Amino acid sequence: MEGKGDGKGWLAVAVLVLALGGLADLLPDRFPAENDLEAGSERIGWGEALDADALARDIYLRVNDERAARGLPPLVWHEDLAAIARGWSEEMLTTGYRHSPASRRVHPDFVGVGENILMGPRDAGEAHVSWMESDGHRDNLLHAGYTAIGIGVVCRNDGHLWATQLLGVPDGVVVPHPRGTAVEPLVRRDPGPACTPRPWWQAWRS
C-alpha cells in the first residue's frame, strides 16, 4: 500500500547525513568572516606575487596623480623597496598587522625610508583612497622629501589585500614633514584592478 515504508529509505538518508558530517570534519574551514582580517590568514593563504603586481603598479600611478595635482614631483618606482614591501606584506599577513622594524627598511640608496601599511580592501582604488583619507598616510605620500617608492601587495585567497608602501629619502634632502595636508583634491577614486578570490578548495591545495 502507498504511504507505508519499511524504514530503509530513512535509514539511508540518516547514514548519508552522518557520512557527510564526518567528511566535513576532514575538510578545511571556510574563509572566516570578512571583518576578521587577521585571524586565520596563514591558513587561508595568498596568491603568487604576479597576481598582485598589477595592483601595486596601479596604486603607484595613483600616488603620482595625487602629487601632480598638488604640484609635487613624481616618485620614482624602486624595485628593491618594492621587494622589501612585498616581503613585509606577506609577513604581516601570517604574523599580524604592524609596522616593520626600522632595520627592515634600511637601504643604501636612502638616508631614511618611511612606511604606510594597509589591510582589508579588495581593489587598488579602495586601498589608495583609504591611505589618502588617513592623515598620517596622506602626509607621507605628499611629502616633498620622498623621491622614490616601492609598493608590495599580497592578495589573500579570499580576495582581501594586504599592502605596504615604502618611501625613500636620499641623502642630503632636508624637507620639513607636511602636517595636515588636505584630502582634496583626491583625484583618483575609480576602483582599478582587484584581488581575485580563489575557491577555498584551490586555496587549501596551494
DSSP string computed for 96-114: -S-PPPGGGG--TT-SEEE
Residue 90: which pLDDT band, with cuts at 50, 70 and 90?
very high
Please state, rounded to an integer, the average pLDDT across all residues of the chain: 82
Q: What is the pLDDT of residue 141?
A: 96
pLDDT digits (tens, 9 = 90+) for 3-60: 445 555 544 444 343 344 443 344 444 555 555 787 778 778 877 776 799 999 999 9
Q: Could you tell me if residue 120 is left (phi over 0), alpha (psi between -120 and 50 degrees) or otherwise beta?
A: left
CB 36 within 8 A of CB 29: no
Please tell me the number of Cα atoms within 13 Å of 130 on its side-chain side.
Answer: 19
pLDDT at 171 over 60: yes
Percent of the chain with pLDDT over 90: 58
Residue 97: which pLDDT band, with cuts at 50, 70 and 90?
very high
Percent of the chain with pLDDT over 70: 76
CA–CA separation, 79 and 72 (whole Å): 22
Integer-rounded Cα Rg, in Å, for the chain is 23
